[in-house]
Amino acid sequence: MANLVAPQPLLNLADPPEDGISSVEFSPTSPDVLLAASWDATVRRYDLNRDRPLVAAATQPTACLAATFAGDDATAVVGCVDGSVRVARVDGALQGGQAAALGAHDAGVRCLKYDAQHNVVFSGSWDRTVGGWDPRASNGRVATAEVPGKVFALDLAFGAADTKLVVGTSDRHVVLFDARNLSTPLQHRESSLKHQTRCLKCFPDATGYALSSIEGRVSVEYFADGDQARKYAFKCHRAGKVVYPVNAIAFHPLLGTFATGGSDGGVSLWDGAHKKRLAQLQPFPTSVAALAFNTDGSKLAIASSYCFEEGEKDHPKDELYVHTVLNHEVTPKASQPSA
């Protein structure tokens, strides 16, 4: 049985985005700095140490589907619904100013991930390509790869010997690349889940990834051939016979446990190694669209934002919450003291 978390004080951020929240990401170097991209055509930077956390709201030409820090806490790369990949300053000095374009895909840019080691931002687009970009360059494209479907999710696995780029596309394809060379995939897989991919996140130890679908399931997959017998899938974010999409996955950076967020408004925390749910948070007002742990795992950002699973209808306003993580919510079962 999971431990249902008693109601905890949540930080409900002032000045949230005014339309659907598409992504959230903490700074890799500052545990209290948060980036959020939104369909309201802004990318917003928050500093949780401030009385008024909003530092900047950089306006873009069109809806923002993804954003990532690139190089420092004042620079964001943004992916937009018009296909553009842009660099925005989010230090507050250019609040409201538009960003400089690095280049563009032929369709919306759904996801972005920054490789600090090589100073490359990877983008995944609905035009069935992955791009690599140098955020310092005016014409920044450094690599392109075709993939077999629209890109719905991508992430990087930072291993000791190499960095893998893992891409989840339409029609349940999963493609693995060496991040240094997009010319030829390392591997082409098919998702073990039978429905459309929603999210994909790599393990912190770079040995595999978790993938979620629109049909209330998560699969836990491994890269090495010798680990294939360990892979499994499980059901989650369901209420009786009603099944909800699992929109978001976030791994604790130190412990390897992970959180999932669904269109039921729920957030659950899991010990994947021991196949146990550790905790549930109290339900949020509407769909959980995105999740992110901060760099030390002490905070979990939660985007409560209707994902239009039921089409146009009245729905709660978009909100950004920050949950202070409790030890028992993220500590693997084998490491917890006996009751």
Residue 226: pLDDT over 50? yes
Closest to 45 in 3D by CA, of 88, 83, 86: 88
Give 239-251 pLDDT, tens digit per residue.
999 999 999 999 9
Q: Report the distance separating Cα 59 and Cα 70, nearest Å.
A: 18
Please say whether the beta carbons of 180 and 158 come within 8 A: no
| pLDDT at position 334 | 77
Q: How confident is the model at residue 136 (pLDDT cuts 50, 70, 90)?
A: confident
Give 250-272 pLDDT, tens digit per residue.
999 999 999 999 999 999 999 99
Please indicate whether residue 316 or residue 129 has the higher confidence score (pLDDT). 129
Residue 67: pLDDT over 50? yes
| pLDDT at position 293 | 98
Provide CB contacts within 8 A for 32, sequence distance 6+.
47, 48, 49, 294, 299
Instruction: Determine the average pLDDT of the residues in 146-156.
Output: 98
Residue 335: pLDDT over 90? no
**With the C-alpha atoms ordered 287, 40, 58, 136, is the resulting torsion angle positive or negative?**
positive
Residue 54: pLDDT over 90? yes
Q: How confident is the model at residue 312 (pLDDT cuts 50, 70, 90)?
A: confident
> Considering the chain, what is the average pLDDT of its residues?
92
Write phi, then psi, for 225 (nearest 5 degrees). -55, -40
| Token pair listed for 174 | 């999963």
Q: Report the distance separating Cα 254 and Cα 291, nearest Å.
A: 16
Between CA 43 and CA 31, with CA 246 as vertex, the angle to 5 degrees is 45
pTM metric for this prediction: 0.93
Q: Report the distance separating Cα 239 and Cα 83, nearest Å.
A: 37
Distances from the Cα of 114 to the Cαs of 133, 160, 174, 227, in angstroms?
Answer: 9, 17, 19, 27
Which amino acid is residue 331, in one-letter code?
T
Q: How confident is the model at residue 307 (pLDDT cuts 50, 70, 90)?
A: confident
Q: How confident is the model at residue 137 (pLDDT cuts 50, 70, 90)?
A: confident
Residue 1: pLDDT over 60? no
Instruction: Determine the average pLDDT of the residues in 294-314.
Output: 89
Please say whether the beta carbons of 304 and 286 come within 8 A: yes
| pLDDT at position 339 | 44
Number of other CB atoms surrounding residue 311 within 10 Å? 5
| pLDDT at position 123 | 98
Q: Report the distance separating Cα 108 and Cα 123, nearest Å.
A: 10
Number of other CB atoms surrounding residue 337 within 10 Å? 6
| pLDDT at position 27 | 97
Give 92-132 pLDDT, tens digit per residue.
754 444 568 899 999 999 999 999 999 999 999 999 999 99
Please say whether the beta carbons of 289 and 263 come within 8 A: no
Provide CB contacts within 8 A for 6, sequence distance 6+.
none
Instruction: Determine the average pLDDT of the residues in 196-214.
Output: 97
Residue 52: pLDDT over 90? yes
Instruction: Determine the average pLDDT of the residues in 68-83.
Output: 95
Give 6-39 pLDDT, tens digit per residue.
445 689 999 999 999 999 999 999 999 999 999 9
Give 167-200 pLDDT, tens digit per residue.
999 999 999 999 999 999 999 999 999 999 999 9
| Token pair listed for 303 | 């985007």
Residue 308: pLDDT over 90? no
Give kind and range of the element (H or E) at residue 329: helix 327-330
Share of the chain above pLDDT 90, in %: 86
Residue 233: pLDDT over 50? yes
Instruction: Determine the average pLDDT of the residues in 305-328.
Output: 88
| Token pair listed for 302 | 């939660």
Strand ranges inside 27-184, DSSP E: 33-38, 42-47, 54-59, 64-69, 75-80, 84-89, 100-104, 109-115, 120-125, 129-133, 141-146, 151-158, 163-169, 173-178
Number of other CB atoms surrounding residue 236 within 10 Å? 18
Running DSSP on this structure, what letter comes out for residue 175? Answer: E
| pLDDT at position 336 | 65
